[in-house]
Amino acid sequence: MFPEFFNTPLLAPFNDLSERESMFKLAELTEEIKVRLSQLAISYNINIIGGSMPFADTEKDDLYNISYLLHRDGKIDEHRKIHITPNEKKFYGMKGGNEIKVIDTDCGKVGLVICYDVEFPELPRILADQGMKILFVPYLTDTQNAYMRVRHCAAARAIENECYVAIAGCVGNLPGVNNMDIQYGQAAVFTPSDFAFPSNAVKGEATPNTETTLIVDVDLNLLKELHHYGAVRTMTDRRKDLYDTVNHNSETE
């Protein structure tokens, strides 16, 4: 998994344009990068989550923040960021996507949300109700406190939805790119908090704000055991007679 907007260093040649115009220029490269990532997924026999990139609907003059899952068999799935930050609205005029769905992979059902999305617990809960076992969260945060919002929310989603959550974000600085000059991040994989998992519910984490690759193995069978025999069973013990979470597009839980 790559970070949200991992290709923003390519914005540098467009720094004379407005932020929104430069993002449209960057969006012109998205298809080429998507195709190349798909080729790499096939040739290396891995599934790749292409962080996120801008996607332009030129007919409507709309910009979306889109993440692709490139399967090893050539299939391509996507998620359009649903919750748009005030910064994305102000500088880029980004629009939010409208589809909530799990993605079937050869490793099981996974969920894909982007950064701010993970701060809304209803979204991963709907994905968990659809069978999600791993939630992937590419993000981009400029400051440490912004990163901590993503980190703590991701850790909470792992506990309340009995799943693994992986996060990856940009690090370093881009002083030559407007509105992308500083970034802070730390990749991590979170687990539920029970006896079968690490005592701090962190399966692995990278060195803070350092460019590196984090490699973590997770056991999906432990999630099945947790669901039936855990010290607490958050997915089972919900009071659905009092409250529920509904996806209005599909009118299903």
Q: Is 107 a known active-site residue?
A: no
Residues forming beta bridges with residue 233, ordered by sequence position? none
Task: Choose the catalytic residue: 115, 153, 163, 170.
Answer: 115
Q: Is 81 a known active-site residue?
A: yes
Q: What's the CA gap between 77 and 228, in Å, rounded?
A: 31
Task: Choose the catalytic residue: 4, 78, 88, 162.
Answer: 4
Task: Choose the catalytic residue: 34, 81, 133, 203.
Answer: 81
179 secondary structure, DSSP code = T
134-139 and 164-169: which strand pairing? parallel
1.20.1420.20, 3.40.50.300, 3.40.50.10440, 3.60.110.10: which CATH number matches 8-229? 3.60.110.10
Q: Is 115 a known active-site residue?
A: yes
Q: What's the CA gap between 88 and 143, in Å, rounded?
A: 16
| Angstrom distances, CA of residue 85 to CA of 15, 96, 222 | 22, 10, 35
- Per-residue pLDDT of the chain in tens (253 residues, 90 and over written 9): 999 999 999 999 999 999 999 999 999 999 999 999 999 999 999 999 999 999 999 889 999 999 999 999 999 999 999 999 999 999 999 999 999 999 999 999 999 999 999 999 999 999 999 999 999 999 999 999 999 999 999 999 999 999 999 999 999 888 889 888 899 999 999 999 999 999 999 999 999 999 999 999 999 999 999 999 999 999 999 999 999 998 887 654 4
pTM: 0.95
Report domain extents, the chain. 8-229
